[in-house]
Amino acid sequence: MDAASELLCRLAQLNDIGAALSSERNIDKLVENILIVAKTITNADGGTFYRMSDDGSRLRFEIMRTDSLGIAMGGTTGNAIELPDLPLRRADGQANDSMVAAYAAVHHETVNIADAYQAEGFNFSGTRRFDEINGYRSRSFLTVPMMNHDGEVIGVLQLINAQLPGKREVVPFSLADQSLAESLASQAAVALTNRLLIIQLEQLFEAFINLINLAIDEKSAYTGGHCQRVPTLTMMIADAVDATRDGPLADFSMDENDRYELKIAGLLHDCGKITTPVHVVDKATKLQTLFDRIELIDTRFEVLKRDTQIATLRRQLALRDCADAQAEAALQFQCEEQLQAMDADRDFLRSTNAGAEATTEAALQRVRDIAARYRWRNPQGQEVEFLTGDELENLQIRAGTLTQAERGTINHHIVATIKMLEHLPWPKHLKNVPEYAGGHHERMDGRGYPKGLVREQMSVQARIMGIADIFEALTASDRPYKAGMKLSQAMGIMAKFKHGGHIDPDLFDVFVQQQVYLHYAREFLDPEQIDVVSAEQWLA
């Protein structure tokens, strides 16, 4: 191949490389590719890629390669580069021109050296030590600064020991090599800058999401952990499904964009809770609003008891003239019976107020009986109902601590979530976030909310989030109205949900088979919650 044909071939290669660099999302892989490509088009044996530090004062070693020595460090290799950063300026503030990479960065100039051992003005003592240790001879150097659209140096590309094509003979880097390396550096700088800008925008976006979750957390300490744990569990389940190679979900797979989209949906799945009144979210007892109104009922019982004692004393005083000790004792006994009955009713209401998974009909009837049994005199001296209509309604809640109206208020958060997310101008790779985040309260049988979707109308990702949301809620130990369930109890309920059309049965089987529940439990549950779980029965 003649020189012209070789140059055309290298230019075509450079063209293809530019497109490939622009599509790379991983920063470590991107900078690694930049160096590898630069070595390839210049036939260099070795090279180093330096990144500018955040404060612009130092060059940081990112990638090192020397083919003939088998050296591969930094980037995706997992081998750390144990070398200090290169300062761009000396202690006196002058440019550190003795270091060729620093010189190129400070002066925005390419440096092409035919033989490092004969070059003047640069300090290659470190290079000589490297050569002595490794039995190497560093000769030709080509050092190219990489500048962004603002003319700022973001990195330095340094190539070592150009070789004749197909040979190991070391030669100086030609002007054609330098031109190609500079063209590559220019393209690579654009690709790297764009990727860094995208990363910064993603970080800013995630920071805003975390700001929303922080606001929810500040409103209620009981939801902050949920907002963090559900996304984590969602990704754990998704990874398990992605790794499945047989069964109904064998074809499900996620690339990096898919994973990021699901992660964002997980972080935003409850953003609508920012609109939910905090006294409903934090309702720890049936009578709680801004405070627990059981204290008002306690006060009424005390008033009743005092009224009973006063009435008894008055009747006893009325017996003084006849000095009927037996009658006085009977009145005292009757008074004590009434006081004991009041104490028992008060204790019962306090117990009922705490809420339970299921309140019996007998208990609900006793609440109604207590409301009918007593009347009390309010501070205005009026005799009124012992329990107000609202108090009676709340104390008759069959499960948990929320009335139907309050459940509707809580459930509205998903409507608010969908409205908020659908108003955002999502880019193409995040367009499914509203659907994923908005579907975690739907059921497979169409009896969920807010849209009443059935399984076939939902994405796998939305169904995954539904399982994550339920399992986290069952096992969470920071709720105001319940303790965290044992693992076996939570899994038993999940299995019932599987058979009852609540959650996706195929996803639940993967959840069990891949032991996602156990991995999550070991990371997030209290040790006393983790008990023996018989996976076989949940798969039956």
Render pLDDT for 273-307 as a digit per residue (tens, 0 to 9).
777 776 666 666 777 776 677 777 888 888 788 88
Answer yes or no: is pLDDT of 125 > 60: yes
As a whole number of angstroms, the distance between CA 116 and CA 460 comes to: 59
Instruction: Decide: 143 and 101 in contact? Cβ < 8 Å.
Output: yes
Cβ-contact 66, 168 below 8 angstroms: no
Residue 441 pLDDT greater than 60, yes or no: yes
Integer angstrom CA distances of residue 93 from 85, 89, 104, 514: 17, 6, 17, 59
Instruction: Identify whether 491 is part of a domain.
Output: yes
Q: With beta carbons less than 8 A apart as the criterion, state whether 265 and 464 touch.
A: no
Share of the chain above pLDDT 90, in %: 45
Residue 480 has pLDDT above 70, yes or no: no
Let me know whether 373 and 457 are in one domain. no
Please report which confidence band the pLDDT of residue 327 belongs to, taking 50, 70 and 90 as the band edges: confident
Joined together, the tokens standing for residue 424 give: 């955002």
Residue 212 banded pLDDT, cuts 50, 70, 90: confident
Q: In this structure, is residue 527 part of a structural domain?
A: yes
Same domain, 55 and 131: yes
In a domain, 210, yes or no: no
Q: Are residues 488 and 503 in the same domain?
A: yes
CB burial readout 269-287, b (16+ within 10 A) else e: bbbbbbebeeebbbbbbbb
Question: Would you state the pLDDT for residue 13?
Answer: 61
CA proximity to 459, closest of 436, 441, 427: 436
Count CB-CB contacts under 10 A for residue 365. Answer: 11
**Domain boundary residue, one of 138, 164, 198:** 198
Q: What tokens does 475 get?
A: 């096992």
Helices (H), 354-403: 361-373, 389-395
Mean pLDDT over 321-328 rounds to 73
Tokens 């390839």 found at: 40
Cα–Cα distance between 385 and 243 in angstroms, integer?
A: 63
Domain of 416 in residue numbering reads as 220-280+406-539
User: What are the phi and psi torsion angles at 378 (to 5°)?
Assistant: -75, 175
Q: What gap in Å lies between CA 522 and CA 131, rounded to an integer?
A: 50
The CATH number that applies at residue 86 is 3.30.450.40
Q: What is the mean pLDDT of the chain?
A: 86
Q: How many domains does the chain have?
A: 3
CA distances from 312 to 316, 320, 370, 530 (A): 6, 13, 22, 56
Distances (CA, A) of 258 to 252, 432, 463, 489: 11, 9, 15, 33
DSSP H helical ranges for 220-255: 221-242
Predicted model pTM: 0.66
Residues 11 and 46 both lie in one domain: yes
Whether 416 and 384 share a structural domain: no
Tell me phi and psi for residue 400, to 5 degrees.
75, -150
Q: Which of 401, 431, 446 is a domain's end point?
A: 401
Residues 467 and 384 in one domain: no
pLDDT band at 34 (very low <50, low <70, confident <90, very high): confident
Q: Which residue has the higher pLDDT, 209 or 26?
A: 209
Q: Is 106 helix (H, G, I), strand (E, B) or coil?
A: helix
Residue 379 in this model has a pLDDT that exceeds 90: no
- What integer pLDDT is reported at residue 417 of this predicted model? 87
Tokens encoding 306: 């005092």
Q: Residue 304 and residue 301: Cα distance in Å, rounded?
A: 5
CATH code, domain with 450? 1.10.3210.10
In a domain, 49, yes or no: yes
Lowest mean pLDDT segment, chosen from 89-103, 116-130, 310-324: 310-324
pLDDT at 15: 59
Taking only Cα atoms into account, the Rg of the chain, rounded to an integer number of angstroms, comes to 37
CA distance 528 to 533: 13
> What tens digit of pLDDT does each residue of 413-428 get?
788 888 999 999 999 9
224, with CB counted inside 10 A (0-12, 13-18, 19+), is middle
The helix-helix angle for 460-475 and 516-524 (nearest 10°) equals 40
| Tokens (6 digits) for 487 | 């693992």
Neighbouring residues of 481: CB distance < 8 A, sequence distance ≥ 6:
283, 284, 285, 355, 400, 401
Higher local confidence (pLDDT), 217 or 333: 333
Same domain, residue pair 69 and 135: yes
Half-sphere exposure of 4 (CA within 13 A, CB side): 0
Are 49 and 192 within one domain?
yes
Q: Tell me what pLDDT residue 300 has.
A: 81
In a domain, 45, yes or no: yes
- Residue with tokens 């409301």, as numbered in its chain: 371
Q: Is residue 209 one of the residues assigned to a domain?
A: no
> Do 96 and 33 fall within a single domain?
yes
The angle, 0 to 180 degrees and rounded to 10, between the axes of the packed helices 505-513 and 516-524 is 70
Question: Which residues, in sequence order, are CB contacts of 85 under 8 Å at separation 6+?
Answer: 53, 58, 59, 60, 61
Which residues, listed in sequence order, are joined to residue 44 by a DSSP beta bridge?
A: 162
Return the ∠ at Cα 33 (arms to 27 and 35), rounded to 5°.
Answer: 110
Whether 394 and 526 map to the same domain: the answer is no
- Domain closes at, from 369, 401, 433: 401
Residue 207 lies in a domain: no
Identify whether residues 266 and 362 lie together within a single domain.
no
Would you state the pLDDT for residue 17?
Answer: 62
User: Of the given ranges (120-129, 177-186, 189-198), which has the lowest mean pLDDT?
Assistant: 189-198
At residue 221 the predicted structure's pLDDT band, cuts being 50, 70 and 90, is low
CA distances in angstroms from 208 to 196, 202, 235, listed in the order given = 18, 10, 20
Quick one: 255 and 318 in the same domain? no
Predicted confidence (pLDDT) at residue 183 exceeds the cutoff of 90 = no
Indicate the residue type of 65: R
User: What is the rounded distance in angstroms from the CA atom of residue 285 to the CA atom of residue 397?
Assistant: 10
Query: Is residue 388 assigned to a domain?
Result: yes
Q: Rounding to the nearest 10 degrees, give the CA dihedral for residues 335, 337, 338, 343.
A: 120
